[in-house]
Structure 1
Amino acid sequence: MYYLYHIPGKKIGVTRNLNNRVTLIQGYKEGEYEVLDSSTDIDYISEREIELQKSFGYKIDRRKYNQLYKKSNMKINATEQTSTFPAPLNNLKTMLLNNKGLNWQTSHGVFTLSNKTIDWIAKNAKTSMYNDNRSYVYNKALFEFNKTKTICNKKPLKMFQQIRDWAEEKGIYKKGNVHVQYMKLQEEAGELAEALLKDNQEEIIDAIGDMVVVLTNLANQKGVHIETCISSAYNVIKNRTGKMVNGTFVKDEPIKETPMTQNGAHPLMKL
């Protein structure tokens, strides 16, 4: 976890260890500083630090926090049974966080280092019997964990039906139209953007919820349940590979074969 701390009148900084960095090194005890934000995402916390330094009028760091810690280009050794990481247990989570977004292939498919996956690995990893500076997890166990994250239980499906029942009762399906619903979706998206800029968690939840309601109704107006749309989208992305670039997942593009002429020669080759 990365902590964004504030020493009033002095500075705003980031650390993974408040006691060591703020108390032992700088001499400020609890109550003499405050934690403004925290996150496992080093990129988010780095941007937030600069933003708040500007907002409070403090000196801006020359280099962002995430630029001080270069990714280690961690190589994961995957066998049929296990995935082994080049780090001891006491340093494993830090290394995983510094390589967030990394994908690796196993016999159970492609895994990605997300926040939830990192937490699971850190809790379930074992020290390698061959090297104390390496740790591992079982691929099947990680696969089963990922499955439980994506399976929907009956409660949200019931909630979607409750939304449809409400919309039916209000006459949205009989008297409304998809164009109005789409405009409503854009309106809610604008409210979400504003909530994100203000970092207002309550408004973020409200805006996302409103967008889900609108999408549920829009799907129903086009003769399909939103559950079907979600399932269809997930089936497309579940085996997709790629990497994180500037905070966005960029999927791997398939290799396109160069067309050949009728006689089998490359079109750029001279006959």
Structure 2
Amino acid sequence: MNKTIQELVPLIQEWAKERGIFDKSTPFDQLLKTHEEVGELIKACYDNDKPAIQDAIGDVMVTLINYCYKKRIDVLEQINDVLTFERKRENSKVVLALSIQDSLTRLMNANFRLLGIGGETPFLYFYEIITMIGYLDDIAFLESTTIEECLNIAYNEIKNRKGKMINRKFIKDEK
């Protein structure tokens, strides 16, 4: 049975806490992981591989949820803003995935420049997060799926995963 996004976000956050992801990584580390997952999304879109696209959308969402937690951004508010706003949808999944990469690069640049500096979260953070979630939603729409379904797929894949943090990165145990 699928869970709602409102149910999944705290479950994902608890999963990350239990594995030391929040204690032993930085927001920038989470963006680096997002970068890796977006690369997989671009490839899946290029290959027109629906199961891989769903998996990658879910994985990107997991890493964005982790990033938002680290930056104290209410990710549920960001997701709700995107999913309730009607957009003109691009018809190329590859272009959308590349656009996510563009937004992610801007977010990474902003985080890198501010690394170690406290203060308020810049508007840019919210804008790029909303933009990326919107593009993920558009890709999901083109695949006749939803972000919620993709996030369920990702959570079901990781929920029992064990591993350890090495050099600020979660390394899953081999089965």
TM-score, reference length from structure 1: 0.33
More helix by share: 2
More strand by share: 1
Q: Which has the larger radius of gyration?
A: 1
